[in-house]
Structure 1
């Protein structure tokens, strides 16, 4: 036996939550563009695969638009579908977005979508089947099935036969809704097995079987399932139908398929898939088992009490069940077997269930689920790992095709090795963004007083108590509580870190992301205690999703066995490689530039040119030393406009920022705001030198700023140099001409003429803080100082043409499209500059001016934010030689 991958096919299975590898019908996975062409599909439903051809019925009956009233045929499909191990070339927006139809049936060309009733026209074809020689289409709203005795090779080819009608121009149903062996009412499922033809006659609640290939229009069926005979009356109003589920009946069957041994029917109205262990040979033959129900007489949608384990018990001891699980179904649309597995399009739950072995008993649970991240979850979206009401399935021996009607696409899933976990592609700077909180101690320490810190919801608190002993200090109390909370395996939700300088502890959620924001905490002291214990908030906060990524972000791919070797990109090269240590990372088929490769982590950069999508499909491809090619199961990447992360040193969260003192020259900042009104003046005074600009009608705020910069820099007696700061407003930075601390303390101020609309504001009263090198505990920043931090994930910047994926940046200064703000120690830090860093790839340099009133704190917490996206929390050591009054400290603590 020959294996196509490093592990043989029978040893690998689909895994829950894996993303689609490819998409057909759209230019990106998330386009959802309506229309009709040879590459663009509408609300497609029916699928079939045979003899290297994919057949697509490009309409549906669930309200997904557009309805293109056509069937598409993709010939030589293997030449359009890349193998999982193939190297892909970046020749289009999304190299993983493939498929160009060769033939269209039902329309004269690929652009038209008119409905009709003729030998060539159709009205809502919802299902298609083929055995590689013949093609059958369920022309649903014309109440008929069309047959082509050979695969059409030209557009709009006429059908050879029609079933359900006596000719090609009729669409009638029998009088009184009384069916017969030759009639249909809204058929939605067709299947060819040998010379047998199966039709799901949906609104007649039955399946019709022809035991030999039809040869004449309107030919009668030989067998019927779901009804005792061909002419049993069917109540058209489902509310009044009152059909109890039995092994021999069905309501609204929408698909019928076979693996050559068994027969599978999607019994939509009974929320089950019926399985016959052998092909039926008599009318109303009962099914053998039901998937989605515990037996053949149940029909509940998501029958959780019978099929799922309870997740917990309520206050009264009653079992509480999930909304769904791996065993339940809700309005199943399609069931398909490859002879070993069974796939079910579970439309009402927006997912595809995968059974690694064909079930032999009712109520069998699936082994994995595609389209959702786990068995009880249902969140329909256009993401690469989600589907919305899947309608049909097809299997080519290696790839599973899923029609995702509301998203106007066909997603393609492929078995591979699950080496990268869900959310395994993350911002390389923030990596994981944890929620944090703090508890501080103040007042008088008295032996015998008791302090309580508790975590968890009301009534279920986990309490940690400490009784003060003689000789305790705030630092000792903080250490004792950290020991209590972290003892053994530690509190299940919180990790505690002492902060002795401020007399308190920092609390960090153990679980990263937004889940940590729900962790409640409270403090209490014994009666008459003189100690003041303050919880900075009622819940931890600041947790964010580091797996939501903006264009151009440096990412870390986390997993196992990602590469056989370790490799690092050559720092002297201007362009990053896309292959490193025989390893590649693909996202939507785009090969990513690589910084670093190892068996457990790969650092890469997302392209800037992905702002046109909201989700991507990523996987790792590596060539082993024996020549074997190995690929991982695709995972979804959530794409957002921006989601910043600040680079920090390794360690316990919140980690220490990679921060630098802003300049060896003392500095200050002036902001130019307001509006332009000719004749007004703005004055900047530095030392005893005044620089005044009179506004003209041609001025802008930027030109006023630039004129002030020019005045200062052209003055040979000036004590400072001036630099325009282009980011987020019109600001200018003043830099002392004398290097070092001698340049500190140069006074400066700003003013405007009386009642002026022009506003000049000085952020400081004197130049400050000349320093250079890393910000460390031994060389901390001081209030009012300008510091430099580095980040990634700030999204698109201007000018756009300066952004090159994978290349070192060589100027000019850029500005992110989305405003960047910053908080340090709970106070605003002015963002003076946010530009792509010179000589770096995917990295932004931010100059932040700290608030003048920050207290000393070696772990001052700092974040940056854009819109609703907040970075990871990092810490910066601050020393204030002139601390603010104690009354102000509560507002400044982290």
Structure 2
């Protein structure tokens, strides 16, 4: 809320709950809080605008965003973008209003992760400070794995339920635990926490979810059977439990303390209170405020990792801290504890003495998440927020990364005041792996790194008669192996340049696609890439070898209409008089008007972009009119151009003179740019 001056002290709410009296800079500020619901306010209907594309999809993306006043008022607003390639129109208005958010993918073609832009709202009349809107832009390559699910807000922790098929995400800006189903990935509950929640933990008996808070002197407790709040754990005055962990013997909390030192406290479950430990074994109970705790799954130990480089280990059998070590001046990144006396902090694999026994690679970026799985590990890293994240399996005997795989976006990493991050959670069902990422979370299948063969292009032909000559703007068929992991056809218009996670380019120009399958792709060649060119296909299996071909200015090829009577492939030539396909039983007559449907006639005027249906007004006529002959006699061409409403399909309207020869097999020939196509038809008087 916008205030006319700063508050300087105590505030009091009136008995009827309608007015707040606050000490302010100049005296007392009176706030009519009971009237706020009717006061002018401005907000966006959604917190995030998500724009997803593909390396091959460079069309301008348009999304709509509604700006409203929750009280139903007509309130002024302005909206501006932090990124010049994200344009909002109109940029001002009165609520309610719908604005269009346009994103130019060309500006993000070198960004393979998710780029976040900000839309800022302002209003002269509104009493609130409107929350900004994130625009999340992702144009990833086909080989990047994972499906992103948008979850707005500041997300700070991820935890999989150890015995139930669900997972939990901590949303700090709303003081909530978001509960998600592990099969549908849908949110099923939102649990209210204390102020500024920082970390979650599940008790060793798997019954309760614990939440630590940076600005509340309690730890929240939720019953995992009912997803209802239970009695919280109360901490000593000035103790703020930022991190918790539960072993088979004790539940501990690392607390930020409003005092001379920060401490680890122990929870009394009977009283639901916590008390400061007098010592940490033989060590002083004095920790960094930026300390994270994590327990081994078998309940034998709790690791305490501190941002200043100190490490501590609690042993449940001894019921005390038994190891302390400091080998570096700072620690950050992922953290995890195993049931086999191994621990991970950042890029270090530690043994039960907290000695580094393996160093994990750093080439793929900053440490983000780690999870022990059986006798190995899963690890995620992030070069930066707008790059692809990397997930890899880890061989704990050597520390080597196995099959590092790019994700569609980057996992989250630590920040100032919260150096450690837990962003990777294998689900209990072992069907999926969840990653906390830029847009919310990314779902990867358990076998995300299963080998997928790279695509191989073997042959390119025109889609009309399967001959080898292809032309600008023509429809083509690509044959090969592993061209797509799925069979997908589209009716979307304009045609997409990525379909079934397969995308095709010619000299780097995206190719509109109609159909993909493992062995065949139907597509339309661009209008601007003629001559000797290189075709490349990208799929989740990788990138194909270069396929070199020649695209001609014109290469006419007449479509076949499929079975017509006894004819298996009748050419698509129609008599305008009856609208039927020309066959021996429906022959061409002298003085007939015929229409020929074909592809490969090249550029048009006006120019039409590939993938766009041809207009009916004005008609898109070919730049170079083809010659049409019947039995060697020229036909008058009344129109040659793109068929209205079609993509890559041309039509020729021609008149048949009385001088054409008669017969059962008279060649009908179309010639353009030195290329010709012909077939025999029956001609009668």
TM-score under structure 2 length normalisation? 0.32
* Richer in helix (by share): 1
- Higher relative contact order, chain-length normalized (CA < 8 Å, sep 6+): 1
TM-score under structure 1 length normalisation? 0.25
* Richer in strand (by share): 2
